[in-house]
Structure 1
Amino acid sequence: MVLRKAGAAAVAAVVGTVGFVGLVTVGTYAASGVPQGQAARPGLSGGTVPAAYRPLIERWGALCPEISPPMLAAQLYQESGFNPAARSPAKAYGMAQFLEGTWAHYGTDGDGDGTRDIWNPADAIASAATYDCALAKDVSKVPGDRQANMLAAYNAGPYAVIENGGVPPYRETQGYVRSIQSLTRSFSAPAAGSVMTLSRQAAGAIYFAQTKLGTPYLWGGEGLPSQDGRFDCSGLMQAAYASVGIRLPRVANDQWYAGAHPSRSELQPGDLVFFAHDLNDPRSIYHVGIYVGGGYMIDAPRTGAVIRYDKIDQRDYIGATRVTQDGADALPVRGEDGTITTGRTGTVPTS
Structure 2
Amino acid sequence: MSGSMGKVAMGAGGAVVVTVAVFGLLVVSASGGGAAPTPGGSATTGNLDASKVPSEYLAWVQKAGVCDAVPGALSPQVIAAQIEAESNWQPKVVSPAGAEGISQFMPDTWKDWGKDENDDHDGGSPKDPPDAIMAQGRYDCYLAGEVQKYVKGGQATGDITDLMLAAYNAGPDAVRRNHGVPPIVETMDYVQKIRGLISKYTIPPMDGGPFGDQVVTAARGKLNLPYVWGGGNEHGPTGGGYDCSGLVLYAVYQASSGKIDLPHSSETQVTMGTEVDRNSMKPGDVIGFDLHNNGDYDHIGIYIGNHQMIHAPHTGDVVKVATLDWYEQYPWKVRRFG
Query: Which of structures 1 and 2 has the larger relative contact order (alpha carbons within 8 angstroms, sep 6+)?
Result: 1
TM-score, L = length of structure 1: 0.48
| TM norm structure 2 | 0.50
Higher-Rg structure is 2
